[in-house]
Structure 1
Amino acid sequence: MYLTKEAKADIFKKHGGAESNTGSAEGQIALFTYRINHLTEHLKKNRKDFNTERSLVSLVGKRRSLLDYLKKKDIERYRAIIKELGLRK
């Protein structure tokens, strides 16, 4: 499996504040970004894997909705996570 329990805990610890804080918007966005990057690399090698492509589009939509929520609730947290993950150019 590409994402071990320890790697997932590390992502939540770094972005969510604590390993057990798996519901925070920042932690979820960071996890989705990690999965999106992994699926993008997979699709570069396997162009005709349409199920993975569909999953990737779904993940991007989920991340977008979480980012919209965070932007509406707390613009400073939104700006911090965007800068930290490098989502904008």
Structure 2
Amino acid sequence: MYLTKEVKADIFKKHGGSENNTGSTEGQVALFTHRINHLTTHLKRNHKDYNTERSLVKMVGKRRALLDYLKKKDIEKYRSLIKELGIRK
């Protein structure tokens, strides 16, 4: 499995402040980015997997909504998170 407890805890520790702060917007965006990157590589190999493609589109939409919320709440955190994760917009 690509997303173990340790990987998840590491993501939240790095972006959310602590391992237990799983509700932070920054941590959730980082987790979605990790999952999106994994699904993207999967779809490059399995281009006819339409269920995964649909999941990927839904996940990108959720991440976009969280980023819009963060942009309204704190523009500096938004800019630093986008730069750190390498998200285009």
TM-score by length of 1: 0.97
- For 2:82, the equivalent position in structure 1 comes to 82
Aligned counterparts of 1:61 and 1:81: Cα–Cα separation in 2: 17
Distance 1:35 1:88 in 2: 16
Cα deviation digits, residues 43-74 of structure 1 (max 9, x gap): 00000000000000000000000000000011
Gaps of 5+ in 1: none
Aligned residues: 89
* Structure 2 SS opposite 1:22: coil
In the other structure, the counterpart of 1:33 is 33
Consecutive unaligned residues in structure 2, runs of 5 or more: none
One-letter amino acid of the structure 2 residue matched with residue 30 of structure 1: A
Q: TM-score, normalised by structure 2?
A: 0.97
SS in 2 for 1:55: helix
Indicate the residue corresponding to 1:48 in structure 2: 48
Q: 1 CA distance for matches of 2:67 and 2:3?
A: 22
Which amino acid is the alignment partner of residue 38 of structure 1? H
Counterpart Cα distance in 2 of 1:2 and 1:86:
20
Alpha-carbon distance in 1 for matches of 2:25, 2:5: 19
Counterpart in the other structure of 2:67: 67
Runs (4 or more) in structure 1 with deviation over 2 Å come to: none
Write the distance in 1 (CA, Å) between the matches of 2:24 and 2:77.
Answer: 11
Q: Could you tell me which residue of structure 2 aligns to residue 58 of structure 1?
A: 58
User: What residue is the counterpart of 2:9 in the other structure?
Assistant: 9
The percent of aligned pairs where both chains have the same amino acid is 81
Tell me how far apart the structure 2 counterparts of residues 34 and 55 of structure 1 sit (CA, whole Å). Answer: 14
